[in-house]
Amino acid sequence: MSAAGHRISAIAEAVGGHATCADDPVIAHLSIDSRKAFSSADTLFIALRGQRHDGHRYVRELFARGMRHFMVMDDVDADIAKGSIIIRVADTLDALQRLAGWHRAHFNIPVVGITGSNGKTVVKEWLFHLLRDSEHIVRSPGSWNSQVGVPLSVWNMRTEHTLGLFEAGISEPGEMEHLRSVIRPTIGIFTNIGPAHGAGFTSDAKKAEEKALLFTEAGTVVHCADHARVVDALHALGINQRAAMRGWSRERNGWLHVVREEAHGACTRIHVSNEAVDFSFEIPFTDDASVENALHCVTFLLHLGRSPEWIAQRTPQLPPVSMRLETVEGMHGITLLNDAYSNDTASLAIALDQLDALAAGRPKAVVLSDLVGSGEGIEARYERVGQLLQRARLGTVLTIGPELAQHKSIDAEHVMHFATADELLDGVDPATLADHVVLVKGARAFELERVAQRWQRQVHGTVLEVDLEAIRHNLNHYRSKLAPGVRTMAMVKAFGYGAGALELARLFAHENVNYLGVAYADEGVDLRQNGIDLPILVMNPEPVPFEVMHRFALEAEVYDARSLRESIHAATHVNDAPAVHIKLDTGMHRLGFVEAELPQLLESLREAKRLKVASILSHLAAAEDPEQDGFTRAQITAFTRMATAIGEVLGYKPLWHVANSAGITRWPQAHFDMVRLGIGMHGIGMDATETALLLPAAALRTPIAQLKQLHDGDTVGYNRRGRISGSRTLATLPIGYADGLSRRLGNGIGRAWIAGQPAPFIGHVCMDMCMVDVTGIACGVGDMASVFDRDHPVADVARDMGTIAYEVLTSISQRVKRVYVRG
């Protein structure tokens, strides 16, 4: 291989494929996502096929954009084959994994494979933080630990690297052997075994053994010797006979003994010893998971030969690991993508990809600090940074630090250099970045978090955290149930079910959703004014001047004689009038033409030659309820009968759609041409079984504002409704009914969650605040309380309120800051 990559002929031979090539270029980059930017000279696009996607669909689009190297399973069109180099294989995923394994075999450096139920990413990132000054490290970006993420991570190995850190995650038997052959770890770290990702395994013991397969050829395995499942799995596979076991233990079962753990303030001091060492180190965390992750790291470092003094000097600076980039609304229409706590080329590449996806055509800017302690030479480091920034096609780059100021290859329309964050804040008016998407990316030492904080629009401490990766997962869950060609409409009405319509619309545009649905024209106008160009259906009856619908290309729902007359009149007098959607009432009895009105509807359509009908729709009243299946079948039958008659009069078949989220799951015969996705995308299925397959998409959190001690007989809140028995500790939270926390909660109904423990509401919920009982919970002012989150579902809050999750989500006030994260 060359320093940059491999010849394409060698790649073809490595994967057992056939290449059509006259030239033999060097391939440095692999791409599996047609939406991402690429350099055409040295990128190979691999067309992966799965249940929910097929990369072959995008080959022609990529060819038109300049891609000239493809790995495919299917034949490509003759003009593409003639103008490109094509590697033809039987299975592109298998070929990707074989390619990465072949690439890995070119390197003889320590490679660490990390697996377990939890903690993989934190252990990897902490090891990177601890070792980056002395090693040139290649590692999995983010949480790239899947069948696709692992080979893409390993492909990043280059001759200058001295250490590899790679995660491996699995969800079913048979997967780890594929990942083992790619990573080929010389050292293993087995974090733990818990309930995560257990659905595909018959028991925790079987899951542990499957994960342990990663270490069958490793020379050393780091683990907790007190975790019986982990130890049993290593013994069952005979790994303990072949590898050096580096277990840590609180029970004197391992190579390293944990003598004592003492929490003080926000830190934990840990004393460890074995035959060679006896010392203490400190970490800036007190939770059990962080202590466990730190002990894995320290055990590994001792195995590498790092001295106790070296370790103790560095562990107090361990950073919190944010595995998700946060997106928040900034002033002047700015959208901020905040990653102000880490900076290296691998995470910069990921952040720039997310910036591009988030921008959706808007101008892009980056605030970037110097890279600290990457282990590689400065010239090579910033040459790579320059290449990444050039590929991102940025309008503005603002740098902080002396090294970037000296680097001359940053390519952007506007480049400014600053010595410190303060200098940047004094020298840049954020109004000059109005309507930009701005990535703030920096090492902790440069304090770029202050830039993100200063440029945010809202500062209310209560936040609704929206996980865009969870929404994408849920979207794909429902898409996987659809036949090829069935389209999707994503509902973003009611401020996107409380999550924020604009950011969801940008996500859905990036995910190639076909339509957006809103309730009122104002919602559609706002999306159009913010650059959303997907087709938008306005579904509710509020009369809106046709000029508004026409100017913003909004498509109206026609549901009665009046709306039909207005639409026909508009179509008659305006050449490019938007198409309409005909709503049929098949039993919901809310909006729509009933079957008795069908003859008059058909007569009107017969005469309306210029009216364009985009779709015919209805609404299933009880798709989720088995007791109402007879009614649902009757609705589907009536819709089919009425829609068929309309199509015969029109002379063409518009799109048909009736299925909502529950209808997608339970009524495949009702998928027709398009389905409408709403609450399911937010992680709420029609029942517990389906909900378990989805990911919760939102978390409502608020900081503790004050703690106080109350005593027997004291009262809390308005009308003295909260009454204290004994001595209790009370916390005041800055969230109230003006934020969307219902007054149906309070007085012992419902709870917040603090440090994983329930804190019941006491007294009435106030307009801007509420009070909770935190007696016995270790917490302080500023600690976060959750009303609902991934572990405490919004459905539980709805149950306490005697309502449905829709109401809880859509009631969250827009004064609550929305923070967008990705997985």
State the catalytic residues: 493, 718
Q: Ramachandran region of residue 740, left (φ > 0), alpha (ψ -120 to 50) or beta?
A: left
**Dist CA 581 CA 555 (whole Å):** 7
CB 192 within 8 A of CB 227: yes
Q: Which residues face 200 on adjacent strands?
A: none
Alpha carbon distance 401, 417 (integer Å): 8
Asked if 581 and 557 touch (Cβ cutoff 8 Å), the reply is yes
* Tally: H helices and E strands in the chain: 29, 41
- Which tokens belong to 818? 């929305």
How would you label 113-142 residue by residue, b for 16+ Cβ within 10 Å and e otherwise? bbbbbbbbbbbbbbbbbbbbeebbbbbbbb
Provide the residue type at 147 as one letter.
Q
Characterise 494 by phi-psi region: left (phi > 0), alpha (psi -120 to 50), beta (else): left
- Cα–Cα distance, 417 to 424 (Å, whole number): 8
Q: Distance (Å, rounded) from C-alpha 534 to C-alpha 438? A: 23
Reported residue count of the chain is: 823
Find the distance separating the first CA and the last CA of the chain, reported in whole Å.
35
Choose among 122, 120, 210, 143: nearest CA to 171.
Answer: 210
Among 31, 33, 32, which residue's Cα sits nearest to residue 42?
31
CB atoms within 10 A of CB 427: 10
Pick from 433, 292, 460, 468: nearest CA to 363: 433
d(CA 578, CA 570): 9
Query: Within 267-401, where are the H helices?
Result: 288-304, 308-314, 345-359, 378-392
Judged by phi (left if over 0) then psi (alpha if -120 to 50, else beta), residue 142 lies in left
* Number of CB atoms found within 10 A of residue 97's CB: 21
Pairing status of strand 698-703 against strand 784-788: antiparallel
CA 374 vs. chain centroid, Å, equals 26
